[in-house]
């Protein structure tokens, strides 16, 4: 069935509540595990249907944020998803208290038991109103980004639509495009500040209601970090500062020389070559056609997967008016269907987003045997291993998309992975500071961001843009608003993905098998268990960051980037 034929129907909360209550009671009083398991399976059918409807609404709303029907439905889910969370918490309690917990663990894994325990810690009936408000504020942020209408080069454009101009070979064009882009944030500075301030104070209130000192610990619990903590993350940040920041700084210096400027500013940061950045040599149809060839040749599993995505129209890739910003992959349980959303804008990002989101979607496709909705996806830092590694696993096919720009793309892709890690660390440390000090003023928050940029991103130069000089860059980083503490995950996963880059060069068959192994377990394992299954080194392990970066440094040093 094609995505357009997937039927959306708002579920009856009252009916579901009654049915789930009966099944949860049956789970509690079951005299045998067989009886309990039968009720769990019936319960999952209902929960997967609820998840399906919520996800369909979310996808269709992000495809067209101006569709009145789905805008109203999104408002419904913002209000009702915390009420469904309350119902789920009754189920989690029945799992945690079950006399057949060992059997549940055998069938669904220890990670599921831990997720049930963490979910109970993160929820209480008396925070429902706050959770509803949090959802509404996140939707308000999404809409504020999507509603950008910027007149540029004779046409009305959204934020994504300015992307190709911000990468123009003509520096004056880059300056004008950046001005237009950030002027939207500057004009709406008060609105962004207000949404964020409300979110911070609301999350702090929720945390305190649940008995935590602040939102940091609750943030980690919400992220289901079952086998590492804030101290381990802090130690990882230290390693990045020591081993990766100097390499990234060196790459920015090389870039400035390469594009013939004395001083690299924010308008040049993503412009890699005087001859222009590597770009796909065709439109979206060309990209999809070559994507199909790539996945046909990579493995029998990826061939089957990509055909499934195409046949069922499970990708919406091209930017258009009213479309939500960014890119994502999600899962529609009743159809066992991953879905990829993106905003193609005729830059190399189109290929990155295709391979990245396809990494997520492929993991889901390999995990359709999992009926428990909590463990279709693994936790976020594990998810990102699948996506970021797929970006590197597909390197041998990049010539299909980039032709004469292939070497240029590969150099940029790998060096960008290194440059990204310190930025990811800034986002993470920023959030720790914010939620440890929830009463900071809006100016103090921006000052905090600026100080962290100086520490981890010393190359930053916002000459000519007062808004960015004053610490406003993070307004565009949706995770900071909508997914607190979801960002260190990308950096942890990047370290793992770079290990896959190395392994695929040394032993392609073994590397691919290791990758398949981590996709097949879905979310049944924790982050460090998945790292182990993939035969990777933990990013928290002393020496891991240093070891990974040393190999990359050698590869980058061997490339004469001035000739690309």
Helix axes of 189-209 and 215-222: crossing angle, nearest 10 degrees: 90
Q: Report the percentage of the chain scoring pLDDT > 90.
A: 97
Residue 520: closest CA among 339, 363, 407: 363
**Could you give the CA distance from residue 192 to residue 141 in angstroms, rounded to a whole number?**
7
Token pair listed for 105 = 């663990």
Strand partners, 151: 156
| Section 168-177 average pLDDT | 95
Residue 540: closest CA among 228, 243, 219, 244: 228
**Could you give the CA distance from residue 174 to residue 262 in angstroms, rounded to a whole number?**
17
pLDDT tens-digit profile of 366-378? 999 999 999 999 9
510-523 residues labelled b (16+ CB within 10 A) or e (exposed): ebbebbbebbebbb
Give the per-residue pLDDT at 325.
85
pLDDT tens-digit profile of 412-444? 999 999 999 999 999 999 999 999 999 999 999
What is the average pLDDT value for the chain, to the nearest integer?
Answer: 96
Give the max Cα distance, the chain. Answer: 76
Under 8 Å between Cβ of 471 and 447: yes
Non-local (6+) Cβ contacts of 252 within 8 A are 264, 269, 419, 459
Give the per-residue pLDDT at 345.
87
Give the per-residue pLDDT at 276.
86
Give the per-residue pLDDT at 108.
97
Eight-class DSSP state of 169: S
Q: Report the percentage of the chain scoring pLDDT > 70.
A: 100
Q: Indicate whether 149 pLDDT > 90.
A: yes
Strand partners, 329: 340
Strand partners, 344: 318
Give the per-residue pLDDT at 251.
97
Eight-class DSSP state of 213: S
pLDDT tens-digit profile of 308-355? 999 999 999 998 889 998 899 999 999 999 999 999 989 999 999 999
Residue 121: closest CA among 240, 212, 245: 212
> Locate tokens 């944030």: which residue?
185
Under 8 Å between Cβ of 119 and 88: yes
Give the 3-state secondary structure of residue 426: helix
Under 8 Å between Cβ of 468 and 185: no
Round to the nearest angstrom and report the end-to-end CA distance of the chain: 45
**Could you give the CA distance from residue 262 to residue 394 in angstroms, rounded to a whole number?**
35
**What is the torsion angle, in degrees rounded to the nearest 10, for the CA atoms of residue 384, residue 387, residue 391 and residue 397?**
160
Residue 205: closest CA among 131, 261, 138, 135: 131
pTM assigned to the model: 0.92
| Section 511-521 average pLDDT | 98
**Residue 139: C-alpha distances to residues 129, 145, 321, 478 (Å):** 16, 10, 18, 11
| Section 387-400 average pLDDT | 98
């Amino acid at each position: 069935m094609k995505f357009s034929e997937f039927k959306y129907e708002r579920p009856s909360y009252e009916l579901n509540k009654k049915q789930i209550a009966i099944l949860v009671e049956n789970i509690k009083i079951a005299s045998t595990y067989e009886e309990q398991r039968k009720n769990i399976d019936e319960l999952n059918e209902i929960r997967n249907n609820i998840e399906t409807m919520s996800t369909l609404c979310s996808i269709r709303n992000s495809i067209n944020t101006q569709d009145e029907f789905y805008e109203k439905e999104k408002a419904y889910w913002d209000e009702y998803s915390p009420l469904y969370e309350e119902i789920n918490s009754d189920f989690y309690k029945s799992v945690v208290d079950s006399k057949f917990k060992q059997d549940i663990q055998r069938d669904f894994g220890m990670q599921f038991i831990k997720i049930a325990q963490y979910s109970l810690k993160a929820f209480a009936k008396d925070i429902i109103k706050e959770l509803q408000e949090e959802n509404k504020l996140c939707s308000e942020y999404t809409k504020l980004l999507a509603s950008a209408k910027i007149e540029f080069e004779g046409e009305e454009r959204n934020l994504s639509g300015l992307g190709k101009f911000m990468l123009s070979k003509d520096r004056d064009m880059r300056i004008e495009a950046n001005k237009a882009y950030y002027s939207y944030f500057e004009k709406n500075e008060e609105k962004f500040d207000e949404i964020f301030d409300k979110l911070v104070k609301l999350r702090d209130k929720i945390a305190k209601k649940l008995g935590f000192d602040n939102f940091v610990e609750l943030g980690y619990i919400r992220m289901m970090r079952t086998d590492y903590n804030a101290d381990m993350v802090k130690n990882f940040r230290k390693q990045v500062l020591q081993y990766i920041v100097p390499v990234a700084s060196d790459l920015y210096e090389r870039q400035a020389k390469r594009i013939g400027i004395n001083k690299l500013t924010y308008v040049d940061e993503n412009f890699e070559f005087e001859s222009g950045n590597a770009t796909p040599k065709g439109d979206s149809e060309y990209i999809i056609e070559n994507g199909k060839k790539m996945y046909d040749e990579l493995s029998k599993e990826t061939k089957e997967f990509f055909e499934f995505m195409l046949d069922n129209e499970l990708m919406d890739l091209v930017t258009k008016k009213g479309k939500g910003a960014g890119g994502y992959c999600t899962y529609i349980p009743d159809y066992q269907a991953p879905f990829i959303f993106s905003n193609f804008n005729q830059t190399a990002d189109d290929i990155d987003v295709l391979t990245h989101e396809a990494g997520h979607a492929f993991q889901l496709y390999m995990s359709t045997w999992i009926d428990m909705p909590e463990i279709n996806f693994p936790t976020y830092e594990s998810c990102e291993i699948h996506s970021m590694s797929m970006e590197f696993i597909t390197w041998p096919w990049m010539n299909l998309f980039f032709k004469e720009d292939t070497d240029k793309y590969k150099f940029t892709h790998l060096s960008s992975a290194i440059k990204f890690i310190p930025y990811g660390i800034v986002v993470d440390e920023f959030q720790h500071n914010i939620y440890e000090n929830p009463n900071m003023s809006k100016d103090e928050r921006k000052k905090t961001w600026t100080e962290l940029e100086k520490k981890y991103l010393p190359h930053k130069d916002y000459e000519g843009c007062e808004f960015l000089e004053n610490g406003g860059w993070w307004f565009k980083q949706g995770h900071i608003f909508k997914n607190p503490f979801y960002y260190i995950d990308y950096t942890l996963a990047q370290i793992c993905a770079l290990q896959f880059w190395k392994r695929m060069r040394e032993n392609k068959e073994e590397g691919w098998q290791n990758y398949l192994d981590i996709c097949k377990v879905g979310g049944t394992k924790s982050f460090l268990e998945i790292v182990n299954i993939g035969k990777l080194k933990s990013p928290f392990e002393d020496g891991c960051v240093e070891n990974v970066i040393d190999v990359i440094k050698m590869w980058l040093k061997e490339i004469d980037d001035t000739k690309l």
